[in-house]
C-alpha cells in the first residue's frame, strides 16, 4: 500500500522537516514494513539514533540500561522542552535540552527535584545516563540535584539519585555534603536513605564543612537525636573536634545548653574530660555559664573539677554561681533536708509548762520564767531534742538541796567554809 497522505499544513507541528515542495519525506521505519506510518526524516541527514519512535503523544521512548524496559520521556517542563522537539530531535538533542540551565543555573533535573516529580526525575536520569553526563550539576547557588532532594526532604529522590551515580560528597557553597544538609534540616529519613543507597566507603562521615564541623556536630547543634544515633551507629567519631576551636560534640551540646544532647552523648561513651584548643573542658563551659543542671550531670559522669586550661583556670575558678561552686566542692550533691515534723504528743507532754525546767548557766535547776499555762510549750531546735528535767541529776537519788547563803545547790558540790567570826 502507498503511504498515507501528509497532514494538513495547519496540523503539522511547526518546524517539522519537509521536502522542497512541502511534501513529507518518505518514511524510514526501524524494522517496519509497508504498514508503517510516515515519519519525518532527521533534519541533519544523519542516521537516526537508537531511540524508538511511536505514534500517539509524539514523545520518544528511550530504553534504560538499568530498568531493562522502554521508558517514555514525559512531563518535562514546557519552556525547557517544547513540543517541536518531540519527534524530530535525536537523543543528543534531547540530552542537550535536559541539561540546559536557566538564568538561575537550574536544569530540568533541578526543577523536577524541587517539584517532587519522581517520574520526571526517573526520565531525566535515564537521559543523563544514556548521554554519559554527570548528575552533579551545580546551579548558581552551588546546589546539585542531590542537595535539593535533601533540602526538600525527599528520601525516595535521594535514593534514586545516589543509586544513579550522584556523588554524596559533593560540596555546596558552605562546604557541606549531603549528610551535613540532612542533619541541618533535621531529616533523619534522608540521612538514612543516603547512607543505605551509597556504595560502601563513599560517604565520609568525618568530612568537615567550611566551619570545621562534621555531620555529627551539625546534628548535635540542631538537636536531632535520631540523626545523632544514626551517625553513631554508622561509625561517626563521637569525640571528633571541629577545626576552628577543637570543640567536641559534647562541648557544643553544653554551650547550647542542651541537657538531652549531653545525656545522650554521655550515654554513648563521649569523653567527659575532652579539651578544646584552649584547654577548657565541657565542665569549664558549664561552670562559667552557670548551667546548674549540666554541671551536676557532668560531675556525676566523672568530670574532673581540677582540670586546668591554658590559663591555669579550673572549673571551680571560672564558676561565678555559689550553687555551682557548692556542686564542684561536693557540698550540694546530697538532697536537701525535709521539713521538721510536728512534735509528737509524748514529746509535748514532756515539754509541757508544768514539768519543763531549764538548766541555768551556773548549774542550777530552776523553772523556766517564761513558762505559763497560757503559752505554748517550747519547741526543740532542729536536730537537738530537749533533755528531760532529771537528765543532769544522778538517777539513784532524788534531788536534794542544801541551804547555803540563800542559794540552792545540787548535792555533790563542796560547800565552802564559813568565815570566822570577827574576821575581816
CA distance 417 to 415: 6
Domain boundary among 279, 297, 332: 332
Q: Count structural domains, the chain.
A: 2
Report the CATH number that the domain containing residue 140 is assigned in CATH: 1.25.40.20
Is residue 343 in some structural domain?
no
Which residues, in sequence order, are bridge partners of residue 365?
359
94 in the same domain as 198:
yes
Q: Where are the alpha helices (DSSP H) in 132-224?
A: 145-151, 155-164, 178-184, 188-197, 215-221
User: What does the pLDDT read at residue 415?
Assistant: 58
Kindly list the distances between the CA atom of residue 260 and the CA atoms of 34, 168, 294, 312, in Å, as whole numbers in the listed order. Answer: 76, 30, 10, 30
The reply to whether 277 falls in a domain is yes
What local confidence, expressed as pLDDT, does residue 7 receive? 55
Domain boundary among 332, 360, 393: 332
The per-residue pLDDT for range 72-123, each reduced to its tens digit, is 444 444 444 443 344 445 677 888 888 889 999 999 999 999 999 999 999 9
Q: Collapsing DSSP states into helix, strand and coil, what is residue 190?
A: helix
Tell me what pLDDT residue 414 has: 60
Parts of the chain with a pLDDT under 70: 1-90, 331-424
Q: For residue 357, what pLDDT is reported? A: 42
C-alpha distances in Å from residue 36, one per residue of 50, 294, 395: 18, 79, 131
- Residue 60 located in a structural domain: no
Domain of residue 165, residue span: 89-211
Cell 524508538, residue? 52
| pLDDT at 213 (0 to 100) | 98
* 13-30 tens-digit pLDDT: 555 444 444 444 444 433
Residues 259 and 180 both lie in one domain: no
Angle at 283 between CA 277 and CA 286, to 5 degrees: 105
Do 203 and 127 belong to one domain? yes
* All cell numbers assigned to 43: 533534519
Amino acid at each position: 500500500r502507498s503511504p498515507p497522505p501528509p497532514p494538513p499544513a495547519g496540523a503539522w507541528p511547526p518546524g517539522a522537516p519537509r521536502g522542497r515542495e512541502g511534501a513529507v519525506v518518505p518514511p524510514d521505519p526501524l524494522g517496519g514494513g509497508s504498514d508503517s506510518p510516515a515519519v519525518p526524516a532527521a533534519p541533519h541527514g544523519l542516521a537516526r539514533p537508537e531511540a524508538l519512535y511511536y505514534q500517539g503523544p509524539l514523545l520518544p521512548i528511550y530504553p534504560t540500561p538499568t530498568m531493562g524496559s522502554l521508558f517514555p520521556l514525559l512531563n518535562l517542563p514546557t519552556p525547557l522542552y517544547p513540543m517541536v522537539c518531540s519527534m524530530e530531535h535525536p537523543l543528543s538533542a534531547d540530552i542537550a535540552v535536559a541539561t540546559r540551565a536557566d538564568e538561575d543555573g537550574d536544569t530540568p533535573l533541578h526543577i523536577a527535584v524541587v517539584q517532587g516529580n519522581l517520574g520526571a526525575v526517573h526520565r531525566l536520569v535515564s537521559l543523563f545516563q544514556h548521554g554519559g553526563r554527570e548528575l552533579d550539576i551545580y546551579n548558581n547557588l552551588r546546589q546539585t540535584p542531590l542537595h535539593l532532594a535533601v533540602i526538600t526532604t525527599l528520601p525516595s529522590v535521594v535514593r534514586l539519585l545516589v543509586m544513579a551515580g550522584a556523588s554524596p560528597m559533593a560540596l555546596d557553597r558552605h562546604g557541606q555534603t549531603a549528610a551535613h544538609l540532612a542533619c541541618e534540616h533535621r531529616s533523619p529519613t534522608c540521612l538514612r536513605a543516603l547512607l543505605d543507597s551509597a556504595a560502601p566507603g563513599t560517604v565520609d562521615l568525618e568530612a568537615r564543612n567550611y566551619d570545621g564541623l562534621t555531620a555529627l556536630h551539625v546534628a548535635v547543634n540542631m538537636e536531632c537525636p535520631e540523626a545523632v544515633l544514626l551517625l553513631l551507629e554508622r561509625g561517626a567519631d563521637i569525640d571528633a573536634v571541629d577545626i576552628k576551636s577543637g570543640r567536641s560534640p559534647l562541648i557544643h551540646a553544653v554551650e547550647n545548653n542542651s541537657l538531652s544532647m549531653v545525656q545522650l552523648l554521655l550515654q554513648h561513651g563521649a569523653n567527659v574530660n575532652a579539651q578544646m584548643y584552649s584547654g577548657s573542658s565541657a565542665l569549664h563551659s558549664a561552670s562559667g555559664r552557670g548551667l546548674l543542671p549540666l554541671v551536676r550531670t557532668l560531675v556525676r559522669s566523672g568530670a574532673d573539677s581540677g582540670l586546668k586550661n591554658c590559663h591555669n583556670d579550673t572549673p571551680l575558678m571560672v564558676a561565678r554561681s555559689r550553687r555551682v561552686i557548692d556542686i564542684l566542692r561536693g557540698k550540694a550533691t546530697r538532697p536537701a533536708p525535709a521539713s521538721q515534723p510536728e512534735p509528737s504528743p509524748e514529746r509535748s507532754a514532756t515539754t509541757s509548762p508544768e514539768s519543763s525546767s531549764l538548766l541555768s548557766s551556773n548549774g542550777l535547776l530552776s523553772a523556766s520564767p517564761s513558762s505559763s499555762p497560757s503559752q505554748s510549750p517550747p519547741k526543740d531546735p532542729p536536730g537537738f531534742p530537749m533533755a528531760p528535767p532529771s537528765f543532769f541529776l544522778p538517777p539513784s537519788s532524788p534531788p536534794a538541796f542544801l541551804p547555803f547563803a540563800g542559794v540552792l545547790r545540787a548535792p555533790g558540790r563542796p560547800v565552802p567554809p564559813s568565815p570566822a567570826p570577827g574576821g575581816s
